[in-house]
Structure 1
Amino acid sequence: MHLTNAQSSMIVALIYLGFCLVELARTRFFAKTEQSRHDGIVEIVSTFTLTILTQPAILLTVGALGHRFFPQYEGALAHSPWYAALALFLVFEDMMQYWWHRASHSTAWLYNLHRAHHNARYMSVRLVYRNNLLYYAMMPSIWLAGALVYLGLGWFYAFYLIVKMLVIIGAHSDVAWDAPLYRIRALAPVMWVVERTISTPATHHAHHGRHADDPAVHYKGNFGNLLFFWDVLFGTAKITRHYPASYGVENLPPATLGQQLLWPILPENKDMEAVIPGATPARAEAQAAVAAG
């Protein structure tokens, strides 16, 4: 059975919509706790830019470059067995995204591109595609996925993308699918394997936690997207089976709408600074942290 890119994208959209409906029914999808007036704008713009413009443009660009400079390699891997295709995508797409994500939390310039993803003070499927517009355009894993498609593995990518996005969407949702499973004693061995293999709400929520002194927070680790195994392998994993008390960015001034979407093209936009009702301003948090020494 072969899926077209359009069919694969439709299935991913239906998965996303399904999680949206669950959140709408259980956790106020349109009115998250501590939501600012700019959150929805950032999420809508970045989601549609990636899915409609950035990702298709990268695939087309890679294809055009391949036809121009490497026409002899087009479709060279088309008859590869599925397990070889899986290995190639896990290494060159998913593991590469792990390292890009990890670099984005250790390099100030890259973190400015990634900051929008963590600026929200809530978890939700709304965050799945939330990032600076340049963040995905520069992401090596998307370009490498395009190269694998050009080499003839588009048939596998259609299935791979569905599985990967199912995991990622589920890991961001504030309706944690793993929570009830941890309470079933008979599933303990299964969940031990699952939480060390793929990203779950518990492990990924930890990455989005706001306060470093929260035992469930680990925003300097748990970088995996499809596979959490990369965190286990490279020493950045923290597994608690608990969820942070709050989410967002600690000890940094608030990022403006322009900064979130188009830094460094729009490095300053003070008139658009987000105000989060009822929340302690980030500058005050930073000053308090410095004063506390």
Structure 2
Amino acid sequence: MAFDTKLLVPLIFAGFALLEIVTRRFFQHEKGTARDVWIEAIGTPVFILITVPAIFFTAPALMNWVFPGSENAWASLPWWGMLAILLVGDDMTQYWWHRASHTHPWLYSFHRAHHSGQYMSIRIAYRNAIAYYIFMPGLWIAAVLVHLGFGPVYAIYLLVKMTVIFGAHSAVRWDEPLYKIKWLSPVMWVVERTISTPATHFAHHGMHKDDGVTHYKGNYGNLLFFWDVLFGTAHITRRYPAEYGIENLDDRGAGGELGWPLIRK
């Protein structure tokens, strides 16, 4: 990604991590295991340092091969047009990829690492099998759009999107105190139906579907929770599950969760 703000996303991630460390919510000693540490310590760097650069190198190369001279071909579009295309091409397709990963057993094996940890934290933001991101349509579409001239708009879009996603996973629940301010209730009604918040995304990570909060088969949105509202998968309670993880989880090692389908144990 050849734009100056590319380092800001890791810095935002580090900021959330530091906030969790300061508030003693990062290490999750009481819930985490050595297996969790391996999954996160390997998966996150591989995604940031290998998978994303590889996709953003390969997609433009393929575009130049199939459509010679296509670089910056759409650079004259207005910023709002680029934003609309990004929201559909990247964020909405990510909603459907995420949803498919919960409805198709084979795809779920790509994604189960994201839910097998029994805690919420910035640590799990990138916690998936390596192949989950390799095949994610939105990443490839975003790389193509940057090649076509969306770079400056994508840089800002990415910063906003990742801040929302990190905030929705962080153990520091930024929305919780805002729900207690009565005059903010109408504002939060709009916010929680527009973007992913800790309350809506924590519900997606809950362990027990009968607790009245957990909504494992829904709340799939990443940046925009609006996709859940639009496509009928939203569940809003302004509460948080008592437990996180996967019910009746079968044994699988860190290698099996990161390396599926090449490693299955």
Whether TM exceeds 0.5 here: the answer is yes
Query: 1:32: how far off?
Result: 4.0
Is 1:68 aligned to residue 65 of structure 2? yes
Residue 243 of structure 1, aligned match among 233, 240, 244: 240
1:209 corresponding residue in structure 2:
206
Aligned residue pairs: how many? 265
Is 1:133 aligned to residue 133 of structure 2? no
Residue 233 of structure 1, aligned match among 226, 230, 235: 230
Kindly provide the amino acid, as one letter, of the partner of residue 37 in structure 2.
Answer: G
Kindly provide the amino acid, as one letter, of the partner of residue 235 in structure 2.
Answer: K
TM-score, normalising length: structure 1: 0.88
TM-aligned CA distance change 1:89 to 1:32, over 3 Å:
farther
Q: Pairwise mapping of residues 20-35 of structure 1 onto structure 2 (< 5 A)?
A: 20-35=17-32
Q: Please tell me whether the aligned partners of residues 33 and 121 of structure 1 are also in contact (alpha carbons under 8 angstroms).
A: no
Kindly provide the amino acid, as one letter, of the partner of residue 265 in structure 1.
Answer: L
**Identity within the alignment, %:** 55
**Bigger Rg, which one:** 1
Query: 1:101: how far off?
Result: 0.1
Is 1:162 aligned to residue 159 of structure 2? yes
Residue 17 of structure 1, aligned match among 14, 32, 35: 14
Residue 45 of structure 1, aligned match among 39, 42, 46: 42
TM-score, normalising length: structure 2: 0.97
SS in structure 1 opposite 2:152?
Answer: helix
Kindly provide the amino acid, as one letter, of the partner of residue 183 in structure 2.
Answer: A
Query: 1:187: how far off?
Result: 0.7
Structure 1: distance between partners of 2:244 and 2:6: 29
1:77 corresponding residue in structure 2:
74
Structure 1: distance between partners of 2:37 and 2:3: 26
Stretches (4+) displaced over 4 A: none
TM-aligned CA distance change 1:5 to 1:170, over 3 Å:
farther
Q: Please tell me whether the aligned partners of residues 206 and 219 of structure 1 are also in contact (alpha carbons under 8 angstroms).
A: yes
Kindly provide the amino acid, as one letter, of the partner of residue 33 in structure 1.
Answer: E
- Which digits, 9 at most, give the CA deviation of each residue in 1:178-208, with x for residues without a partner? 0000011111111000000000000000000
Query: 1:259: how far off?
Result: 1.1
Q: Pairwise mapping of residues 117-128 of structure 1 onto structure 2 (< 5 A)?
A: 117-128=114-125
Q: Please tell me whether the aligned partners of residues 32 and 122 of structure 1 are also in contact (alpha carbons under 8 angstroms).
A: no
Alignment gaps of 5+ in structure 2:
none
Is 1:113 aligned to residue 141 of structure 2? no
Query: RMSD in angstroms over aligned alpha carbons?
Result: 1.2
Q: Please tell me whether the aligned partners of residues 8 and 161 of structure 1 are also in contact (alpha carbons under 8 angstroms).
A: no
Query: 1:168: how far off?
Result: 0.1
Alignment gaps of 5+ in structure 1:
269-293
1:224 corresponding residue in structure 2:
221
